[in-house]
Structure 1
């Protein structure tokens, strides 16, 4: 008898079928796939998906998902019929801005290992003869992209999974999720109860309703998207047969939110140019026995919404000038607040998992990662941008989800800058200093609802005081967007030479306490937790394979009391799941009720000490120590650490005292040249010191020694998660390394994700980058082979040009750590 868990997958579309295949391939043979529709054409999004698979995007993870989908579907067939047709992809530009973006996208392709080339108008027309070359400026050709035949792939995957023991059951609607003792026990259906040890919701746009059955609020919005078929085109006559369907590359005209694919002698045209069309599940049509032309996920076509798109399509492709639209529909898909998938386990109901908001493009990759999570406990592809727990509570509110998902629909093909903030909703979460920051002309960016000052307009008046060696060069338009080089230079200069105040409030803070707190933290972190009260420890959370799942700061405030600074809600979920069942550890998120000011710079002590009767001398509060104190009578917790590499403290207090604390520090600092400083200066200064940003510079795909944070690992302290996996590894065994680069020309600032070339060949990619105001040159960090030692010349591809850089020893500023320890 099999001993593998009983798994129920809800949804027999492209994700559910892929997951059943991946699980049974790994030997889990007690898998049941349920769907309310008939099999194999269930009537969900998969059944009408046009199947365009473009692999390249700014996310390394999403590209890896798509690459695996291409690899898997290429080797899949249904009775000899293809499941993936590698016709290639072609994205064309009709504006200079889009052409530049295609060069940037070609850089991403190189970084992530996808072949691609930006070609001219005539070459585009050779690749896609229906194009008018006089209307375009060029295009990005990616030869390994193509068409997935989603419904056919589902059939082939289901057959393969069934041959290994899986059971597929259509016509079965799930009406409830059974639970006992906080764990899933099965699902209730219209045909009776199906017992389960694990339930995975792959229900597509029905996912929010299914998630609610398990008490899980999914930030997901069903929306309609238009697709039409033309009548037969003479220009396509005889080019394709029913078996092949298409030979020309799939085509995207993103300047007009359009895409195109062949259907034998017709074209399919999809548009995102219309108004957002949210769909309520109660508004879906009732269909008895879906067909290719009629299914619940296909709403009636609204021709008036497509009229303008049709005119643009006819201008781009002259063959459409005399063509007609034969039929069309508004197809329903799932959208989320940030456009990413939703993957993870319910925080309330153990064993209830979701894999939602996944399109055909990424379906096989997501299914593989979910199968690896279930069977092996970790995904080989890092998932922080897909983890359902990445959202804070405000981001899962229905109104927030609808507004942000609608906006994502509108912007789906827009050229977006990495720093570009959403315009609405704003001012959802503000620190107690917000009013003062606005008075100082703060330019706010936004993350997880928090307003975060990027720089302060009030500091522009100080630009004329900048010493010559602190004055930054002019920037190109792209790297200068959402940035003010002179103001940021002022803020960095004052941080290095005087003192600055940084709002650190949005960084998530947890309070962990109780008689079991020490042992609990010790078993989850790489550092030694059993230190004296007042110790602060920079440490790591690893996964079982030794990958860096987060870096955190743990302050011991009492024998059984710790304050833990984490990277976000994913870390909060991780800690919650691992709480001992005996109640010996209490965990509380205290972020909203507290605030934090980073007081940093060589004059930080001159600012703070006169305001306090407590000892802020070097001996009174040493580096990486903390204590409770008072500043101007305000109760604070001061931690002596700095991610800008200067003397100072993170000063925490209750939110009710926050504005008073800001006012006292700012007023007392006037004579010392204090400035308020933002995230732009912070990022520059932290890179000069070689401080890593988790999720950007390092993830679960990297071990501590590769990432340059091996110093935070104490393998001799006793057991902790990931310790065994690191046995035999150290800095001398790594084959790749997070590497510091300085840009040779002293002025070219890159932004991240650009490919790095070593000896003329792609060898890695940039993670973080900034202009180093202290050194007067751009700097970057990149993943490169360990053989790239200091002094090694490299090139970074920035849009369509190569930027020379040199591997440098790190940290670039104050390697002896004298400034921070004075």
Structure 2
């Protein structure tokens, strides 16, 4: 068994030690700079309020697992979780609508939730004022985590299995040899290790610096106060009986503590702290994770609190704190093995709400090679270089603090810093009135105002106020125009890598499911599988030469995964920043491209899924005959210095062919009509290729990672499938992540959704039980408080015979 050192004995570290020892990994040392079992990090002061509902299915499942585990733990005669339920209240129509949306998110993640009336809310929490309430979201299984008690229970359990805990011991350095961790230096000596897991929380950046790792963590202070005993709570004899309460419209939350109330406040300015400036325990006034209270930032908290809990008006504050906890640049935790040092793992920026679920996934990852839940959103290697700069981390962390309770649309981009990354096409896109959203730091057009004149010819159904945000009827006009003639799409945000060197073919054969033994000039759609045949990604492999592959991947996680496993003779290089891509799609795409080159682009010379290096005018390009929108066309790649010239060359030549620039909205509508999946949205590592309808991308036989597990799957005995749902009413818009119902009971969830402008139908892809996946099955989708009828339809809806793509 490997020697494992866990840095930090907060709730994540203790839960991880418990999970690992339960799986037989018992050679574990937990090193803690504070005192057990209240070491002084965020766990020690956190109020413990647990709201499971989250826009991310994985984060919601982490919370659900945390509740289940803590509720099962007993500390003497005390439970480690008080299942008092939660209320999220609404005092405006906008917030009430949001509660209905959040109820749908909860149901789609298997969490029991419902929107209740003001009177029902008042019965559950009598301190609320009736005339301010419009409704509340009630989740009966939410409550209060007693994290310090849980630390002790889980820690003692791990010790009983062989783990040891060393407190008052500070890590001073991480030892490594030949790119692999070998041990940890501390104030109590050096400890050898095969694996080091940093669960250091707010001190995470300090530990990361020891190995040259920049962590996208920003510690911020958050204000929390406890009142004196209140007469209105005098009848309560236990720690908590009232539901935890959240008033997001005023940046407030509340929890009972005996006969007092805790008031948490996010309405103050962001109070950023550097990890290296956090005081050691011996110098901290209370504990290291509590910094001096700033009364000026509390201004407004009680006034807003009184609006919904009037009894707070004459109540004094007994305790106050500015408690530190972690934000990241994208609001997800940091998990997994860092690509910069083998054996160095991270589980940080984890709130108490998700702690035990994160620890379980980490233990599965270490022991089994992969977690049960999909963790691509949380992978520590997911970040682009710009996201790891100190200024970016501080600014995004602070902004995420400000927005923590804000009403945010699923498409809402960050406002600052922008623009951050632009392609060489940006100037021309601005001139065409591009409406930009952000993707991987890039400015990416969603539609172009220059196409507004097309709307009269190509009508789109009207939308409600919520689904109309970051949308325009121009999107539908762009779809129809491209289907009739030709469109130009910016596809630069797709990650691109080169895999070269002797043995590159054999390496890619081992890592991917596709048949790559084809001549140079061929393209293959492949999957990356884990050992259980769960899909880690889907990639497009373009063979340029005998030992030269150009590959479209989904994320930095894919790139690091391949880099980590590549032999010394194989080189994996990220070429995204040095290249640009344009999609030229539509029935006139070949005629347009042919007008710019003397090379033969006929179907016989450059067929579907074939590749050619050529020139378009003066621009050297790689022309790939594939299309993610289901039309004849090409993905065109060149180096970044030729970007503007490539755009202008195509634009000038395209005038006689009816060329338009089209945005990401049109792209998504067209890909759904064609049934093309998007990794991370439609499928992830929790799904296998048969379930996702992608078994065609897996070659027969074996020799690739996950082959044994895939070949053992009985495709006629699947439990679930990804299906295409057609909503009965074309004006019924859904956006994704809504619950799918059968006879009123939740059975699945929507992944992607868009109106199919070519076929005139509202489409939604969704995961449903296999028994409900047959064409013609009647289901419904809950959008806010409405249930929209839908039917399982043919997949795909557009050009199922592939005649347009292959023409």
TM-score, normalisation: structure 1: 0.97
CA contact (8 A) 2:205 2:275 kept: no
In structure 1, the residue matched to 2:475 is 488
Match status 1:798 vs 2:792: no
CA contact (8 A) 2:460 2:757 kept: yes
In structure 1, the residue matched to 2:184 is 187
CA contact (8 A) 1:684 1:773 kept: yes
Match status 1:85 vs 2:82: yes
CA contact (8 A) 1:179 1:185 kept: yes
Match status 1:395 vs 2:382: no
Match status 1:779 vs 2:763: yes
Taking the aligned partners of 1:730 and 1:113, their CA distance within structure 2 comes to 26
In structure 1, the residue matched to 2:278 is 284
2:411 alignment partner, one of 419, 437, 444: 419
Report deviation, 1:285: 3.6
Report deviation, 1:732: 2.5
In structure 2, the residue matched to 1:657 is 642
Q: How does 1:248-397 map to 2 (within 5 A)?
A: 248-288=242-282, 294-397=286-389
Taking the aligned partners of 1:250 and 1:692, their CA distance within structure 2 comes to 39
Task: Summarize the Cα distance change of 1:39–1:516 in structure 2 as closer, same or farther, 3 Å threshold.
Answer: same
Q: Give the 3-state SS of the residue equivalent to 2:455 in structure 1.
A: helix
Report deviation, 1:238: 2.6
In structure 1, the residue matched to 2:675 is 690
Taking the aligned partners of 2:287 and 2:700, their CA distance within structure 1 comes to 57
Taking the aligned partners of 1:732 and 1:281, their CA distance within structure 2 comes to 53
In structure 2, the residue matched to 1:100 is 97
Aligned length: 806
Match status 1:541 vs 2:528: yes
Q: Which runs of 4+ in 1 moved over 6 A?
A: none
Taking the aligned partners of 1:270 and 1:276, their CA distance within structure 2 comes to 14
CA contact (8 A) 1:600 1:642 kept: yes
2:584 alignment partner, one of 577, 599, 605: 599
Match status 1:756 vs 2:753: no
CA contact (8 A) 1:369 1:379 kept: yes
Report deviation, 1:579: 1.1
CA contact (8 A) 1:315 1:321 kept: no
**Cα deviation code 1:211-233 (max 9, x no counterpart):** 11122111111100000010110
Taking the aligned partners of 1:132 and 1:297, their CA distance within structure 2 comes to 34
CA contact (8 A) 1:612 1:633 kept: no
Q: Give the 3-state SS of the residue equivalent to 2:614 in structure 1.
A: strand
Report deviation, 1:759: 2.9
Taking the aligned partners of 2:536 and 2:358, their CA distance within structure 1 comes to 19
RMSD: 1.0
Match status 1:475 vs 2:463: yes
TM-score, normalisation: structure 2: 0.99
Taking the aligned partners of 1:731 and 1:459, their CA distance within structure 2 comes to 45
1:229 alignment partner, one of 226, 231, 238: 226
CA contact (8 A) 2:206 2:276 kept: no
Taking the aligned partners of 2:293 and 2:719, their CA distance within structure 1 comes to 55
In structure 2, the residue matched to 1:431 is 423
Q: Give the 3-state SS of the residue equivalent to 1:335 in structure 2.
A: strand
Taking the aligned partners of 2:91 and 2:373, their CA distance within structure 1 comes to 35
In structure 2, the residue matched to 1:507 is 494
CA contact (8 A) 1:17 1:157 kept: yes
Q: Give the 3-state SS of the residue equivalent to 1:165 in structure 2.
A: coil
Instruction: Structure 2: give runs of 5+ residues left out of the alignment.
Output: none
Report deviation, 1:760: 2.8
**Cα deviation code 1:586-626 (max 9, x no counterpart):** 11111111111100000111211011001111111000000
Task: Summarize the Cα distance change of 1:218–1:281 in structure 2 as closer, same or farther, 3 Å threshold.
Answer: closer
Taking the aligned partners of 1:240 and 1:714, their CA distance within structure 2 comes to 65
Taking the aligned partners of 2:338 and 2:635, their CA distance within structure 1 comes to 34
In structure 1, the residue matched to 2:753 is 769
Match status 1:408 vs 2:400: yes
Instruction: Structure 1: give runs of 5+ residues left out of the alignment.
Output: none
In structure 1, the residue matched to 2:541 is 554
In structure 2, the residue matched to 1:173 is 170
In structure 1, the residue matched to 2:240 is 246
Taking the aligned partners of 1:525 and 1:588, their CA distance within structure 2 comes to 17
**Cα deviation code 1:85-108 (max 9, x no counterpart):** 000000000111111010001001
**Cα deviation code 1:28-52 (max 9, x no counterpart):** 1111000111111111111001000
Taking the aligned partners of 2:392 and 2:64, their CA distance within structure 1 comes to 32
Q: How does 1:727-742 map to 2 (within 5 A)?
A: 727-729=711-713, 731-742=715-726
Moved more, 280-289 or 614-623: 280-289
CA contact (8 A) 1:688 1:772 kept: yes
